[in-house]
């Protein structure tokens, strides 16, 4: 079961990356995350684990499996009968704009059923994250000021 979301942001990809990859600050800019704790130290890197708490969900541990600095990262959450993979991609559209795509892939015999049952909540959370990321990135870009 795949659910995805995209948003165009009026800020450089570098700014968007800085905001998006600083996952421990997500609770500051999206209502879809109530807490996020780095279990292996701060920063996105392969093998690092993060405990994430979302409204109406139990705490889940996500492990980073792939990172392309400045462009993308993927983390996974494993549970009995399921594997959830979340990818986060940033594409520069110009020097001052970027496109973000998030994708949640819920697999396994139980994971696919859970994904189907939770699809509307997953979509709502992705939309909240996209809107929050857009607002935070554009705000940070304007604080720094666009280059002349």
pLDDT tens sequence across 38-87: 999 999 999 999 999 999 888 999 999 999 999 999 999 998 888 999 99
Q: Kindly report the CA angle at 96 between 147 and 44, in degrees rounded to 5?
A: 105
Of 6-20, 59-73, 112-126, the range with the lowest mean pLDDT is 112-126
- What pairing do the DSSP bridges indicate for beta strands 97-107 and 2-9? antiparallel
pLDDT band at 2 (very low <50, low <70, confident <90, very high): confident
Token digits of residue 18: 């800085």
Report the CATH number that the domain containing residue 97 is assigned in CATH. Answer: 3.30.530.20
C-alpha separations of 117 from 19, 111, 120 in Å: 30, 10, 8
**What is the mean predicted confidence (pLDDT) over 111-129?**
80
Q: Is the pLDDT of residue 18 over 90?
A: yes
Total domains, the chain: 1
Chain segment 21-32, per-residue pLDDT in tens: 999 999 999 999
Q: Kindly report the CA angle at 112 between 31 and 54, in degrees rounded to 5?
A: 15
52 lies in which domain range?
A: 2-144
pTM (global) more than 0.75:
yes
């Amino acid at each position: 079961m795949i659910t995805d979301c995209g948003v165009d942001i009026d800020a450089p990809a570098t700014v968007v990356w800085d905001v998006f990859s600083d996952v421990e600050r997500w609770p500051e800019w999206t209502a879809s995350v109530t807490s996020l704790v780095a279990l292996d130290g701060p920063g996105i890197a392969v093998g690092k684990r993060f405990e994430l708490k979302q409204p109406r969900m139990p705490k889940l541990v996500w492990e980073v499996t792939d990172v392309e600095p400045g462009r993308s990262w993927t983390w996974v959450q494993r549970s009995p009968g399921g594997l959830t993979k979340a990818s986060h991609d940033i594409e520069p559209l110009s020097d001052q704009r970027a496109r973000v795509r998030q994708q949640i892939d819920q697999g396994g015999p139980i994971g696919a059923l859970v994904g189907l049952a939770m699809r509307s909540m997953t979509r709502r959370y992705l939309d909240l994250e996209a809107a929050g990321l857009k607002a935070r990135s554009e705000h940070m870009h304007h604080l720094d000021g666009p280059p002349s």
